[in-house]
Amino acid sequence: MRIHFIVIDFTTQDETWTQPWGENKTIRNHYNEMAVHLSDAAATKLILRFRVFDDGVGFRYEYEVSGADSLLITDELTAFNIAQDGTSWSIPANYDTYELLYRTQPVSRIDNANTPMTFIYADGKEADWITNPTAYEIIEKQVTAEDTLSVDMARGGGQAITFMPL
């Protein structure tokens, strides 16, 4: 099968909305998005949509098949290669409920999990986006309102931090 690249769209969204229940009544929906549009000879269209939020990253596949009003997905083959072990937070995979307690464990020990999953990685002291791109540290820390978090960034580097209530 031959896939053709069509176009890449970039957008930014920043809005708030009010939910009828939950801990936070007003939700800010703020992200940058990249949508990669692809097509094949049969005019099947696929959009790979990536969204980067202040506290995470998400992606999805969007299919459009000419003449079809629905699709049957028989398998999910998305996989990730993680260069270095890290700390993860997830709930065990369970098809009956999503209301389970989160567990903290190394990424290498995950054998099953429901989404979303959370990881923390930060640049290592010798990190360099050209010569040493896989040097990073995994940090786990319980913080309170009195704490100040500071991260020293390596050349061309960055950090990813996700906060979760205890």
Note the pLDDT tens digit of each residue in 58-77: 888 898 888 888 888 787 77
CATH number of 3-65: 2.20.200
- If residue 14 lies in a helix (H) or strand (E), which one and from where to where? strand 3-18
Q: Domain map of the chain by residue range?
A: 3-65, 87-119, 122-161
Q: Tell me, what's the pLDDT at 103? A: 86
Q: Tell me, what's the pLDDT at 45? A: 92
Alpha-carbon distance of 18 to 16, in angstroms, equals 7
Q: How far is CA 116 from CA 35, 56, 58, in A?
A: 21, 10, 9
pTM above 0.85, yes or no: no
* Closest residue by Cα to residue 158 from 131, 115, 126, 127: 127
* pLDDT at residue 8 greater than cutoff 90: yes
**What confidence tens digit (pLDDT) does each residue in 36-64 have?**
999 988 888 999 999 998 877 888 889 88
**% of the chain surpassing 90 pLDDT:** 19
